[in-house]
Amino acid sequence: MVRPAMSEEGHRPGPGSDESDHRGFANAAWAIPSYILSGMAVYGGLGWLLDRWLGTSALFPAGVLVGLALALYLVYHRYGRS
């Protein structure tokens, strides 16, 4: 494996590694669990209330999964695209 040692190209930090991007990345990494948890809480809670109202038992787990999917979509929308 021969590579041009210490070439300018390889050691220059990429265009996206400046300070503001680092901040965005750290914020995102801390915010993601919170998003997922709140998605599950909002729609799981909605399903739980509907369950109590209608006397069913399937809406709570369904709501949790729906909230999970929505939260993942939100994470994708916020952080997953360039």
Partner 1 sequence: MLAEAMVLAGDDKVTGSLGAVAYGLAAIGPGIGVGIIFGQGVQAIARQPELTNVIRQNMLLGFALTEALALIGFVVPFVHK
Partner 2 sequence: MSAPHLLASGSGDEFEAPGLHIFDWGPLFPDGPAWLDWFTKPLLIVALAAIVVIAFSWKAFGNPKLVPRGVQNIGEIGYLFVRDQVARPMIGKDGDRWMPFLFSTFFFVLLMNLAGVVPVLQLPATSHIALPIVLALVVYVMMLFLSIKHQGLVGYFKNMMFPPGLPKALYIILAPIELLSNIILRPFTHAIRLFANMFAGHLLIAFFATVSWWFLAEKLTALGAGVGLVGFVMTIIMTAFEIFVQSLQAFIFVLLAASYIGGALHPEH
Asked if residues 75 and 32 have their Cβ atoms less than 8 Å apart, the reply is yes
- Interaction with partner 1 in 31-50: which residues (CB under 8 A)? 32-33, 36-37, 40, 44
| Binding flag, residue 49, partner 2 (CB under 8 A) | no
Of 70, 5, 8, 77, which Cα lies nearest the Cα of 43?
A: 70
Site string for partner 2, 9-48 (x = CB under 8 A): ----------xx-xxx-xx--xx-xxx-xxx-xx------
How far apart are alpha carbons 82 and 66 in whole angstroms?
Answer: 25
Query: For tokens 């948890």, what's the residue?
Result: 37
What is the chain's length? 82
Q: With CB cut-offs between 5 and 8 Å by kind, which of partner 2, partner 1, none does residue 72 bind?
A: partner 1
| Binding flag, residue 82, partner 2 (CB under 8 A) | no
For the chain, the distance separating the N- and C-terminal CA atoms, rounded to the nearest angstrom, is 32
- Binding residues for partner 1, rule: CB under 8 A, are 9-17, 21, 25, 28-29, 32-33, 36-37, 40, 44, 60-61, 64, 68, 71-72, 75-76, 79-82
